[in-house]
Structure 1
Amino acid sequence: MSTLTAVLYGALVVYLGGWFLGQWTGNFSLLLFLLSAVTLCYWLAERFHFRPARQAAAAELERQDAARREDLARQGIAKVDGDVGAAKEKILEQPWWLDWTAGLFPVIVVIFLLRSFMFEPFKIPSGSMIPTLLVGDLILVNKYHYGIRLPVINKKIIANHDPERGDVVVFRYPIDPRVDYIKRVVGVPGDEIRYVNQKLYVNGQPAPVTPLGDFYNEDRLRYSPMFSEKLGAVEHRILVDPNRPAFYGPEPKSFPMHENCQYSAEGVTCKVPPGHYFMMGDNRDDSQDSRFWGFVPDENIVGKAFFVWMNLGDLGRIGSFH
């Protein structure tokens, strides 16, 4: 068993090393599930086989020692050297391969359950949500706000709230579901979303905006005009770069139900299909979002982002956000 455990740990190191070096995309939910399953097997084996076997061996050692002492006593020898206490402790001691598997099971399974059904931490990797979220922000995502989903396969089994306009949502990137994205919901099923000449329209009505002056973008080392925008009941800040064309970047990729969108030199107009959402970054001119790769299906939703719990470069960032 020690050899098998060493092989399993070796495979884990190779997997994590390749993930860290970018050789492949890791799946942390799947990894936690597999670790929970493997350590559960070790925990059950320890609980019902290995520990009882060690206890039986220790009891046998005590029985043999008691029998030896009794036999010597019958021969008139009252004082007997030797103490089996140390040997008994050695027998009962848990070997390393059980300590590092069965011993970790309770911790791993608690983390797996909390992360799968309650809250999950994420790190903001890009500037697409500036000024709401900055690169390096460590955020918490509420996993149950939109319903209870089975881990790994992300299958919803209990419905709760539906995503609403203005929510900041983590979801699986439709082009590559192994990758998590974070954007703001601007369109729900049935909405007509227009983004033309750097202005957002929802069902024909412009989203109310108020100028807030300039925002210094540390990523770009320049100032950008900042506005307060209101989507539904949510008021948040956005950046718009007047020096960027209304529609920029590569040609939109072909995506499911792309016929629901019409593109022009001024921007894009999309009709959000049932069971899907239209997402945009708050850094409007520096965000790859639904304008480029299409709608986000409900089954890709991971949870609602709501709190910055750490930013190592700026502790003042800690707190809730809209």
Structure 2
Amino acid sequence: MLQVKKLFLANKGFIAFMFGMFLFRSAVADWYIVPSSSMYPTLLIGDHVLANRLAYDVKLPFTDVIVKHNADPKRGDIVTFSSPADGKRLVKRLVAVPGDVVEMRDEKLVINGQPLNYTELTSAVNLTPEYYGKQIAMNENLLGKTHAIIEMPERSAIRNFGPVTVPEGQYLMLGDNRDNSADSRYIGFVKRELITAQVTRVLYSLDEKNYYLPRTDRLGSAL
């Protein structure tokens, strides 16, 4: 016990720093390393993104207990959340808020009776790596917010559902890589308290297929 006390006293500054860092990451801001291609072409494997934990709620550190609401999540936001299926942290796009009536027909969304507008992209985008089937990049206008998505028509996926009404206090999440994403079509709606942060910016990005060299064009880029 005496040795432990001496060790603690000798390293109390470092221990305090580490505790403060964990507290900061739990309650204020965090960074998240994108591990999969489910958000291509918006987020790439190897992106290190900034996640603002105070964007929507103030929570007790290390818990999902909400102390204060700061703002409501909006359609089009990119968020991190704990999966209601297994608790794993995921990053997806929030596409529908409480009370929205949502359906998908042939991969195209209809929200509150209004079909979204889709335009096929002809310029180069970051397509899913190591997938050799057909990929179609499109702009999706999410009731005023436009972002790029990818469809893989040859891949097995859920392309039709609903209409469903998003329950109070819950949200519907989809990956931008629509046919390569374990999102609300598979794990269900996401409760607000499970949303951990809003992703606002790519801090930096490392290309694992190119010796982990930095992708300089993504440094500090806003989302």
TM class by shorter-chain length?
Answer: 0.7 to 0.9
Is the aligned partner of 1:267 residue 2:160? yes
Aligned residues: 213
Judge conservation of contact 1:280–1:290 (CA < 8 Å) in 2: yes
- Confirm whether residue 242 of structure 1 aligns to residue 136 of structure 2: no
Q: Name the aligned partner's letter for residue 217 of structure 1.
A: T
**Residues 97, 110 of structure 1: alpha-carbon distance in 2 compared, 3 angstrom cutoff:** closer
SS at 1:126 equivalent:
coil
What is the aligned partner in structure 1 of residue 96 from structure 2? 187
Higher strand fraction: Structure 1 or Structure 2? 2
* Identity percentage of aligned residues: 37
Write the distance in 2 (CA, Å) between the matches of 1:221 and 1:107: 47
Farther off after superposition, 292-301 or 112-121? 112-121
Within the candidate set 179, 182, 195, 1:285 is matched to 179
Q: Which residue of 2 aligns with 1:320?
A: 221
Is the 8 Å Cα contact of residues 208 and 229 (structure 1) preserved in structure 2? yes
Partner of 1:26: none
**Structure 2 letter corresponding to 1:285:** D
The structure with more radius of gyration? 1
Alignment gaps of 5+ in structure 2: 208-214
| Alignment map for 1:104-253 (pairs within 5 Å) | 104-177=14-87, 179-213=88-122, 215=125, 216-221=127-132, 224-244=135-155, 247=158
Name the SS of the counterpart of 2:64 in structure 1.
coil
Two-structure CA RMSD over aligned residues (Å): 2.0
Amino acid across the alignment from 1:295: F
Higher helix share: 1
CA distance in 2, matches of 1:186, 1:143: 19
**Greater RCO structure (CA 8 Å; 6+ sep):** 2
2:133 touches 2:154 (CA, 8 Å); kept in 1?
no
Give the gaps of 5 or more residues in structure 1.
6-41, 43-94, 248-265
- For residues 311 and 2 of structure 1, what CA distance do their matches in structure 2 show? 45
Partner Cα distance (2:22, 2:178) in 1: 35
Alignment of 1:73-88 (within 5 A): none
Kindly state the Cα deviation for residue 229 of structure 1 after the two structures are TM-superposed: 1.2
| Change beyond 3 A, Cα 1:232–1:202 | same
Distance 1:180 1:299, change over 3 A: same
